[in-house]
Amino acid sequence: MVQKIILDCDPGHDDAVAIMMAAKHPEIELLGITTVRGNQTLEKVTRNALNVVQYLDIDVPVYKGMSVPMVIEPRPVEERVHGDSGLDGPQFDELTRTIESKHAIQFIIETLMASDGDIILVPTGPLTNIAMAMRIEPRIVPKIKQIVLMGGCYQLGNVTPSAEFNIWADGEAAHIVFSSGVKVTMMGLDITRKVLALPSVIERMSKHDNRAAKLFCDLMTFFNKGQKKTFGWEGGPLHDPTTVAYLIDPSVITVKSMHTDIEINSEQSYGRTNCDYFLLTDEPKNSDVAIDVDVEKFWDIVEECISLYE
């Protein structure tokens, strides 16, 4: 069944690959791309989204969203990982594509309200846009079919010992989303750290002679340099595309239903996704948390998406 989605992102190398995959796969209908401050400033991530759609000739509207989190002060941007532009590596032509005049939140609200409840939200950045939309127009909540997001972890964080970047960047927004009653499927670091864009993966994708392959290889070559410096890994985790791969073929990722709470009161553990993995409490199971990924199948899906470009 074709899945209608809105991709809410902060490109970002792995976000860019998620856009590339979602825009072309026949199982996905990408209704719009919305941007949010995260990896870089809102201006930069929006420019990056436009560069990606222009480079790959993707005919999908791009909407600019929130430039600051809901409650906390904006976090520093992730230059170590994504470079000064937020998408260092590839060379883009002069930008001619432009954003839509509507605000991302208005687009999300209007699109959901006009829908038959068949739209999936796919956030791959901080959850500010989604939570703001839920607060501004609560009637969208029952209209959301599902939220398949990249964020969180039940093991170790990547920005503090407890927290993953997207959740830590706007914990209050994450709290609103996870407690909204909408089914949340959480692709956390626990599985994204298994899909490493090792040199062998770059070599494999480089065999395709098209712009998507070139973009993938240019992105991952830069991305891996930062990952090596910061974490000592030869290949960086391709976090965000796990969401799209799961929508294309759910058998690629194993999920377990459990209760997840977002820590927003502790200074030390702010942004922690407290996932009740062992079902220790009677709290409602508000999330399907990814616990395993079929790595080979994942790369097959990424390669399939690349091969769909001319």
Residues at the interface with ligand BDR (CB under 6 A):
12, 14-15, 39, 78, 81, 124-125, 150, 158, 164-166, 239-240
- Least separation in angstroms between residue 114's CB and ligand BDR is 28
Query: For residues 207-246, which are near Ca ion according to CB under 5 A?
Result: 240
Phi-psi region of 122 (alpha: psi -120 to 50; beta: other; left: phi over 0): beta
- Least separation in angstroms between residue 15's CB and ligand BDR is 5
Instruction: Establish whether 93 is a catalytic residue.
Output: no
Closest to 11 (Cα-Cα) out of 57, 70, 64, 69: 64
224 binds, among Ca ion, ligand BDR, none (CB under 5 to 8 A by kind): none
DSSP state of 75: P
Query: For residues 279-308, which are near Ca ion according to CB under 5 A?
Result: none
Please measure the distance between the N-terminal and C-terminal CA atoms of the chain and give it in whole angstroms.
24
Long-range contacts of 88-93 (CB under 8 A, 24+ apart): 88/222, 89/13, 89/218, 89/219, 89/221, 89/222, 89/223, 90/51, 90/55, 90/214, 90/215, 90/218, 90/219, 90/222, 91/218, 92/51, 92/54, 92/55, 93/54, 93/55
146 binds, among ligand BDR, Ca ion, none (CB under 5 to 8 A by kind): none
- Least separation in angstroms between residue 165's CB and ligand BDR is 4
Residue 124 binding Ca ion, by CB under 5 A? yes
User: Which amino acid makes up residue 215?
Assistant: L
Residue 125 binding Ca ion, by CB under 5 A? yes
Beta bridge partners of 29: 4
Residue closer to ligand BDR by CB (options 169, 212) is: 169
Residue closer to ligand BDR by CB (options 7, 58) is: 7
Residue 122 parent element (H or E): strand 119-123
Binding string, residues 8-47; x marks residues near Ca ion by CB under 5 A: --x-x--x--------------------------------
Asked if the bond preceding 232 is cis, omega within 30° of 0, the reply is no
**Distances in whole angstroms, Cα of residue 18 to Cα of each of 12, 115, 149, 281, 285:** 10, 23, 12, 34, 27
Residue closer to ligand BDR by CB (options 37, 214) is: 37
158 binds, among Ca ion, ligand BDR, none (CB under 5 to 8 A by kind): ligand BDR
Residue 90 binding Ca ion, by CB under 5 A? no
- Least separation in angstroms between residue 195's CB and ligand BDR is 12
Considering the candidates 8, 10, 170, 240, report the single residue annotated as catalytic.
Answer: 10
Contacts of 101 by beta carbon, 8 Å cutoff, 6+ apart: none
Just list the catalytic residues.
10
Contact footprint for Ca ion (CB under 5 A): 10, 12, 15, 124-125, 240
